[in-house]
Structures are given as C-alpha cells and as structure tokens.
A and B are shown apart, each in its own frame.
Chain A
Amino acid sequence: MIKAEYFWSEGFFPVLSLVGSIFLIIIPLILAVAYLTYVERKVIAAMQLRVGPNVVGWFGLLQPFADGLKLLHKETIIPTRSNPLAFLIAPVLTFGLSLSAWAVIPFGPEGAISNINVGILYLFAISSLGVYGIIIAGWASNSKYALLGALRSAAQMISYEVSIGLVIIAVLLSVGSLNLSQIVEAQKNIWFIIPHLPMAVIFMISALAETNRAPFDLPEAEAELVSGYNVEYSSMSFALFFLGEYANMILMSAMGSLLFLGGWLPPFHMAPFTWVPGIVWFALKISLFLFVFLWVRATFPRYRYDQLMRLGWKVFLPFSFAWVVLTASFLLTFNILPG
C-alpha cells in the first residue's frame, strides 16, 4: 500500500511539473511556428518589393491564425486506394518527432527538460528519423507524385545526414563531450563559428537540405511534382506536415546556434550584454539562422537533383572528412585535446 504523502511528493507533483514544463516549451514553439510562416511571407515580400499579408489584424499579424482556422474547417480527405492507417500516421509522426527533439535543447545553464549525456546524438537521431514521416506519406498516398517526392526526400536526407554527422564530430572533438550544456559552456571564450567557420557553412547548407527547404526543396518541387509527398493531404493532416516542417527548421536553427553560436551565452562577457537573460540571446541566434533560411529561399533558384547529390557526396563529404582530420591533428599537436 502506497502512502498518500509519498504519492503526492514522489509521484504526482514531479509528473505535474514535467507536464507543465513540456507545455511551456510546446506552446511557445507552436506560436513560433505560426509566426515563422508570417515572417517568411513578410520577409520574402520585402525582398520582392511587395507588401505581404496586411489585411487580417494590424500589419496582418492575425494572418497565421486565419490560415490555421481555414485549414481546421476543411474536410479531411483520405484517398480511396490509399492505406488509411499509414496515411494518417505519417503526419502525426512528422509532427511528433519535430516536437520530441526539444526535450534536450538547453535554454539556459539549467534550462533543458532532460539534460542527457548524449544530447547531441539524440538530436541527430531525431532529425534523421524525420525522413520516415515523408517516406510513409509518399507510399501510403498511392500516388505517383507523392511516391517520387518521398523517394527524392529519402535519398536527399540520408546524403546530407552524413555531412551533418561529420560537422558534429568536428565540434565534439573541440568540446570533449556529447552533452549539449557542455558544448555551450566550451564556447565561453570563443564561439565555434570562428575556428570552425567552414563547418558552420556546411552545417547551414546541409540543414537546408535536411529540412527540404529551398534551394533543395526537390521533394516538393511544384513545377514537376505538384507538391510532392503531401499532394494527397488536406485539412489537419496537411497542417501537421506543415507545422512539423517549420518546427524542424526551428530545431535545426537551435542546433546550429548551440553548436556554433554559443547557445545562451552573450556575445561579450561585459555589463550591458550579461544583463540580458540567456534565453533572449538564444532566441536571437535562432532567429538569425531562421532569417538565413528565408533569405536563401528568396535568393536562389532550385538545384537540379544530380547537382544536389554531387554537392553532398563529392564536395561536402571529402571536405568535412578533411576538416575532422585537421581538427583532430591540430588539437593533438598542440596538446589541447579536451576531455
């Protein structure tokens, strides 16, 4: 028989606070996703000398909610010859994975829900699982365009995962730990973007490919595949794909700022910078990465598929291999290998 006090102190309150902290992350994240779509439209409009959304609410600020409501009251269509179970699991999987990765992201010195030893590996694993939502959606839709989009996406994400893995190894060599908080703490003196600048560039480009964003948005190339893997989806099942894709963009930006821009650390350890709380710096760095995502989309035309593969396997892979060896030899020669 479990005592009542034991139940409250050991069972109920820890679970309640855990659920609370999960909601504290998920709700701002979904709001951020909603406003990322708004910012995307505004930024691209500004770059193309247009106005962008400006009708719903002040400066069009209520536009994301209007879009969400519109999607919500559409009919969910399940194609007759599709595989209904897999068809409905795919968007849930995409969205769920994009949320579950946030469990290990540290927002401050003690700011992660779960500060695990192998945090960066966990992030890498979750981001490599994202391909399943897309590939299952493409197969379950029983449609040519969806299947072609899914196959493109699978090959593309596996190719660029390799270079992201090598980028992570180069950073880990200079940290000596797989723990995300320790990766950030190691950048107290100098952000890794300075010694590892080429790796930061490769990470950014691979992140574009990993999230299927322009100029690597071949899985959903409108001109040839209509909309790729999500062509048969409507209403909330489409909305889940959409949310998942944008949440993945935010996740990759968070990963980039943890690895290269020093996470929650201020740029200088001086009075006016240290007054600002760490989470604000972290949000600013994520926004910087996200802006690059949008900037690239407004600037570059789409890659051809063979060019995409060439870039991944013949340019990034040898280069990042060489950089890993260079980093390791440098650290060993000057006897500053950490850990």
Chain B
Amino acid sequence: MINASAVLFYIFSGVLLSAAMMVVTVRNTVYGVLFLILAFFNAAGLFILVHAEFLALMLVVVYVGAVAVLFLFVVMMLNVELSHFRETVKSYSLIGSFVGGILAVELILVMVTWNTSTEAFNLTSAPSAFYGNVSNTKALGYLLYTHYALIFQGAGLILLIAMMGAIVLTLRHREGVKKQNVASQLARRAKESVELVDIPSGSGI
C-alpha cells in the first residue's frame, strides 16, 4: 500500500534531482539559478515530510530568500558568452570525466554498502528522543546550545571570519569621493556657514 507521503517523497525527490541536473546542463545561466531555486524548494518539501518544519523554512529563508537572490543578481549582471563556454567544456572534458567517474564509483560503492538502522524511521518525527515530546524547533535549540554549543559557536566564528574576509577583499578607499556625513551636517549652524556681507557698489568681495 503506497501512502500519500511516499508519493510526495518520490515527487519531491524526482523534481529535486531533475532540477539539480538542469542547473548544470541548461545553457542560460539565469535559468540555471531558477532551477537551483526549484531544487531548494523541493529539498524544503523533503524536510517537511520528515516533520523538520524549522529546517525547511530556514532553507527557504536563507538559501532561496537571500543566497539565490544574490546569485541571480550576479548572473544577471555578468554577460556569459556561450561560444567561449563551449570551447572550455571541450578542453576540460577528459579530466572532467575522469574526476566525475571516480566520484560516481565512490557514490555507487557507498550506496551498495549502506545499512539503514531499523530505528531510523522512528527518529524522523522526534529529532531527539532525549528531549521527549517538544516541537522540533525547541529540540534543535536545546541541542545546539547545550551539547553542541562549542561546535555551534565555532561555526559562527568561521562565518564571521569569512564575512570579514569578504569585506576586506572588496573594501576600497577611493580618493575624491564625496561622502555624506550626517553628524557633521546636523552639527552645522547658520552662524558658521552663512555670512551676511555688505558689498559696496562697484567692488567685489
């Protein structure tokens, strides 16, 4: 007997895989990013099927709502020339297929030898049996801030360093750019900036 969630699982994962395939094969890079967004949405659908609604919405908020928008932003600004793209594909095809072949063999080996625990299915609806019957948002919070607090903070630190690196790489101090300084504008008074001059006729200031 096939139930509704199994049908949904095959729909979501089927669309997810074909969208991911389209991301790398489609010619138009903007379509590529749009297929990537479709893939993110279907991954969110898979999360919802295992009752991980917090992760699903975080995936949508962070990846679809922010990261993919910036991808789209960049791809729209760049003019990728397709003829040049085809030449590079040809010159890299040998080494590319070699690396791809190794990856495919590894994946198949992993899939053949993968053992699923019989308790895995029970863990899907309650992310941590330890915290009992709380919503998975709370369970995630408890876990992240107690057992994995150090790792969590470490991940945050790495992101902070990456952010600072991006800022340092792109920050330029250009000469001759007029910047608005709100504080100095507000601190100006009429006395220091305007002067009333009585000019005698026939002469300048």
Contact = CB atoms under 8 A, between A and B. Distances in A.
Interface of A: 86, 116-118, 121-122, 124-125, 128-129, 131-132, 135-136, 139, 147, 151, 154-155, 158, 161, 178, 306-307, 310, 339
B69 A121 contact: no
Across the A-B interface, the 7 shortest Cβ-Cβ residue pairs? A128-B65, A121-B57, A125-B60, A125-B61, A118-B53, A139-B76, A117-B135
Interface in B33-79: 34, 37, 53-54, 57-58, 60-61, 64-66, 69-70, 72-73, 76-77
A118 B54 contact: yes
B67 to A, nearest CB: 10
B135 A131 contact: no
Contacts of A307: 180
Given A132-B69, A161-B66, A125 B57 contact: yes
A141 B18 CA distance: 27
B27 interface: no
A135 B65 contact: no
A180 to B, nearest CB: 13
B interface residue count range (under 10 / 10 to 19 / 20 to 34 / 35 or more): 20 to 34
A116 B53 contact: yes
A128 B137 contact: no
Interface in B93-135: 135
28 contacts: A116-B53, A117-B53, A117-B135, A118-B57, A118-B137, A121-B54, A121-B57, A122-B57, A124-B57, A124-B61, A125-B57, A125-B60, A125-B64, A125-B65, A128-B64, A129-B60, A132-B72, A135-B73, A135-B76, A136-B34, A139-B30, A139-B76, A151-B73, A151-B76, A161-B66, A178-B54, A307-B180, A310-B182
A122 B54 CA distance: 9
B135 A306 contact: no
Given A117-B135, A129-B64, A158-B66, A135 B72 contact: yes
B76 A147 contact: yes
A116 B48 CA distance: 12
B76 A131 contact: no
Nearest to A178: B137
Nearest to A126: B60
Interface in B1-51: 30, 34, 37
Nearest to B64: A129
Contacts of B65: 125, 128-129, 131, 161
B38 to A, nearest CB: 12
B145 to A, nearest CB: 12
Given A135-B69, A158-B69, 6 more contacts: A121-B61, A122-B57, A151-B77, A154-B72, A155-B73, A310-B182
A131 B58 CA distance: 17
A125 B180 CA distance: 34
**Quick one: which of B58, B73, B135, B182 has the most chain A CB within 10 A?**
B73
